[in-house]
Amino acid sequence: MSEKTTTENIPYFAAPTEENWSFQTGPLQFMRAAHKRHGGVCRISFSDREFVLLTGTEANEFVWSSSDLWCYRDSRGAFLSELGEPHVTSSDGEKHRAKRKLINKSFSVSSNIRYLPKIASIVRDHLKAAAEAGEKVALRQWLPRVITRFNLETVSQAAVSDEEFEILVRWQLHFISGVALSPQKQEAHYSLPSYLEDKKAAFDIMGRIVDERLADDNPPDDNFQQVIEAREKAGTPGTRDDLVNELYYILVAGIQNTTHFTITMLREIYSPAGWLDWLREELEDWDGYDAMAVAGMERLKAFTFEIQRNRPQVLTLPLLPNRDFEFGGYTIPEGTLCVYCPPFMHFDEQYFENPDVFDPKRFMDGAKFSPKHNGFFGGGAHVCVGRNVTLLQGPLMVALILKSFDLQDVPPSDTFLIEQSGGEAQTPCEVRIVPRATEPASV
Ligand code: HEM
């Protein structure tokens, strides 16, 4: 009889590190110390559970090229439990590939760049209104609402009442803030009566939007319509629930992520390092209205690359192997809870000089953040579909703010405990938005 494989021979890396980091207080520092001591494989504990930690370029390449090894359905349980059966993962094989093909066009640069002028005008109106109100706004709550507003007028056009709007945003934010919790905490998080009520209402609203769209003889040519047409063309019209799932992706799935990205940029810009003046210098010649010009701003682009590199927002992703596998000289048994760090190589001196230093200038003069060394949006079969959306919308919102407004009381950036996407430690980021004296004249 063959012996059952165990993880016992895999070295255990205990917190705190010599520099006093634990996974909770400094996840990146902790993982880097673990890698330095044990190479790309070791056992660690957090949230009362033990994981096998896979780190380094080889680990990322391995994870991203072996999608059939991972039970995505089980390791990303929150998505399935909250979005229901139409949510597919690479564990669904062909179904997942087909879904990615159907939604590809809606998430392309060309489908999203066309809406930038409209988005800019909506964002500007919201900024003006917030400045006029004179009250502090919590960006963590305010930005997702601004994004959902412009999404409803651009990528997935639909009329919703103010009450419905609130429900959609509230449900999405509550849902996403639970995805990284342990199963026990997740169960409590998703069984709150107020959440369950919002969830039902949010699906009813999205279902109604789908019904109205299918009955519309003259539908808008937006990104949601592109999915419906892609489905027709492929001969897979899909069920109402499938379309609700796709509407969800386009309308609200990314609002928290783009919010977080934008807040991270703003916190760094308003740090004492002086990036505010550096970026504003570039904005001097901009009229504040030509949204398309933002994509050509070299400093803003370099800043956006450096934010992705040095301030990654998804630090770890869970993995659950469906069979024993070999990595780094060890056999890791089927069903072992594993975790990997997609942005680990952002801090590797082989690729980036002084990787701990936040320096956007490293990406000036045409230097690119090579996709090979960029794990900000994950990789492999599940690489983020919303990448283009965030990279168009986030810098545009930042440019609009810096050009015509000032933010007061921006909380300092947090270099150690980089706030995990969807985590519990996120600041509300309360700021006051005030007009700048040099606001551009409208054109
Ligand atoms: C800064 C912004 C964002 C970051 C850092 C980010 C990060 C990620 C990462 C790391 C993954 C891979 C997850 C995995 O392997 O399980 C992912 C997947 C995904 N992202 Fe994003 N994301 C961002 C923005 C967005 C936006 C704006 C949208 C929607 C408009 C979006 C929709 C999705 C979806 C639907 C998937 C799952 C893809 C699949 O299952 O094939 N993301 N994202």
Determine if ligand 1 sits within 6 Å of the CB of residue 76.
Answer: yes
Structure tokens at 417: 């405990």
Which architecture does CATH list for 27-435? Answer: Orthogonal Bundle (1.10)
Determine if ligand 1 sits within 6 Å of the CB of residue 261.
Answer: yes
Cα separation values, 215 from 219, 251, 369, Å: 9, 19, 45
> How confident is residue 416, by pLDDT bands cut at 50, 70 and 90?
low
Q: Which of 152, 252, 309, 384 to mutate to test the pocket of ligand 1 (most atoms within 8 A of CB)?
A: 384
Determine if ligand 1 sits within 6 Å of the CB of residue 149.
Answer: no
Which contacts of 350-359 are long-range, i.e. CB under 8 A and separated by 24 or more positions? 352/309, 355/309, 355/310, 356/310, 357/310, 358/268, 358/273, 358/306, 358/310, 358/311, 358/415, 359/306
Determine if ligand 1 sits within 6 Å of the CB of residue 389.
Answer: yes
Determine if ligand 1 sits within 6 Å of the CB of residue 62.
Answer: no
Q: Which residue has the tokens 């006093």?
A: 20
Which range, of 268-272, 303-307, 314-318, 434-438, averages the lowest pLDDT? 434-438
Instruction: Return the number of other C-beta atoms located less than 10 Å from residue 293's C-beta.
Output: 15
Cα separation values, 360 from 301, 304, 337, 394, Å: 9, 8, 36, 16
Element at 395 (helix H, strand E): helix 387-404
Task: Determine the distance separating the centroid of ligand 1 and the alpha carbon of 105, expressed in angstroms.
Answer: 16
Rounded distance between C-alpha atoms, residue 150 and residue 253, angstroms: 14
pLDDT at 423: 47
Quote the DSSP letter at residue 44. E
pLDDT of 439 > 80? The answer is no
Structure tokens at 290: 């030509």
pLDDT at 182: 83
Task: Determine the distance separating the centroid of ligand 1 and the alpha carbon of 440, expressed in angstroms.
Answer: 35
Domain boundaries, the chain: 27-435
pLDDT of 177 > 70? The answer is yes
384 labelled binding-site residue: yes
Share of the chain above pLDDT 70, in %: 95
Query: pLDDT tens digit string along 256-304?
Result: 999 999 999 999 999 999 999 999 999 999 999 999 999 999 999 999 9
Query: pLDDT tens digit string along 328-381?
Result: 999 999 999 999 999 999 999 999 999 999 999 999 998 999 999 999 999 999
Task: Determine the distance separating the centroid of ligand 1 and the alpha carbon of 377, expressed in angstroms.
Answer: 6
